[in-house]
A = this chain, B = another copy of it.
């Protein structure tokens, strides 16, 4: 339950958001939980649907093709340059929904809180979610809070689920990709992963890189309106661009050939990756997308993307080729060629 439950006017004193902490009673289903919902969650997230006060939100939908996507968020630290777990949990799910070309409609949120977590931090996180939800036009209409004992969780985990409606006639899917298609990326890659690393205690280094965490609903709306021939889109989060392209190559039984020099990587991100022994192609992004489209639409799509602030650094980074092994390969800046394999081990835990 996250709905503003009735009975809330009867709390003897207000929740101490400044100095209070989550305790086990906040997950009990009783008065303390009702107060947490009323004075913290609902005060930020309030909307007509959440206010219905039932254990489910009800709304009208048009007939059509709906998409549903869910993502758990366990990012550590909870606050990082360019965002926090609250905004990330909205952006991540909104982006998964809109990669289908859908207009996002509504979100749900499930919170798993650790006993002892400062209410002030929770308040910041929920405020950040509310802002992100507002910006994307996708209200959080229903939710749930659970509390686990200290040492059985890690501050807060948030699972968000989103639904959206796909415009009539539009079908974007990885299996539509064909040899000859062009591969585009919407901007600089690796920013999110490097921002998280830089904010972790043991990996501190000088960098001004902020996470690229942002919602892509508006960029996507422009893209599918102007170039409905797009085969598919995907946001290269965990595992980065390399993993996303390997997935798409397998799904479509094609190969991918990238041009290293065409892939936008900030010099600072490049330098940080060298220091850490990482490859930017495997580093997570939270506000970028990969789009694949027919070759004759690629320039048009690129222009549409570049005309939008969230796609101003977009680039065509390679093409789809015939390959029975579904390899992703890259022509390096030195003129060589290498295989861009699946991520084998652990690049960076708890990146999102």
CB atoms of A56 and B173 under 8 A apart: no
Q: Please give, as numbers and ranges, the residues of chain B lying within 8 Å of A58 by CB-CB distance.
A: 65-67, 100, 166, 171, 173
Most buried by B among A108, A251, A284, A352: A108
Given contacts A6-B247, A31-B343, A342-B7, contact A60 B64 (CB under 8 A): yes
> How far is A20 from B165 in the complex, measured between Cα atoms in Å?
40
Q: Does A84 contact B (CB under 8 A)?
A: no
Identity of the chain B residue whose Cβ is nearest the Cβ of A106 in the assembled complex: B68
Q: Please give, as numbers and ranges, the residues of chain B lying within 8 Å of A175 by CB-CB distance.
A: 53
CB atoms of B7 and A247 under 8 A apart: yes
Binds B, one of A149-157, A262-270, A311-319: A149-157
Interface string of A59-83 (1 = CB under 8 A from B): 1111111111111111000000000
CB atoms of B53 and A69 under 8 A apart: no
Q: Does A42 contact B (CB under 8 A)?
A: no
Most buried by B among A31, A106, A159: A159
Most buried by B among A56, A58, A144, A152: A56
Q: Does A250 contact B (CB under 8 A)?
A: yes
CB distance from A34 to the nearest CB of B (A): 7
Chain A, interface SS category: mixed
Copies of this subunit: 2
CB distance from A7 to the nearest CB of B (A): 4
Q: Please give, as numbers and ranges, the residues of chain B lying within 8 Å of A55 by CB-CB distance.
A: 69, 96, 99, 234-235
Q: Which of B6, B249, B284, B349 contacts A251 (CB 8 A)?
A: B6
CB atoms of B110 and A31 under 8 A apart: no
Identity of the chain B residue whose Cβ is nearest the Cβ of A246 in the assembled complex: B7
CB distance from A240 to the nearest CB of B (A): 8
CB distance from A329 to the nearest CB of B (A): 15
> How far is A100 from B344 in the complex, measured between Cα atoms in Å?
46
> How far is A84 from B235 in the complex, measured between Cα atoms in Å?
34
Q: Does A186 contact B (CB under 8 A)?
A: no
CB atoms of B30 and A347 under 8 A apart: yes
Q: Please give, as numbers and ranges, the residues of chain B lying within 8 Å of A30 by CB-CB distance.
A: 239, 243, 282, 342-347
> How far is A142 from B71 in the complex, measured between Cα atoms in Å?
9
Most buried by B among A58, A73, A100: A58
Interface string of A325-350 (1 = CB under 8 A from B): 01000000000000000111111011
> How far is A237 from B97 in the complex, measured between Cα atoms in Å?
31
Q: Can you name 5 A-B residue pairings with CB atoms under 8 Å?
A: A30-B346, A56-B97, A57-B68, A60-B63, A70-B159
- Kindly list 5 other residue pairs between chains A and B, CB separation below 8 angstroms, not including A6-B174, A56-B68: A7-B247, A29-B347, A58-B66, A59-B67, A152-B154
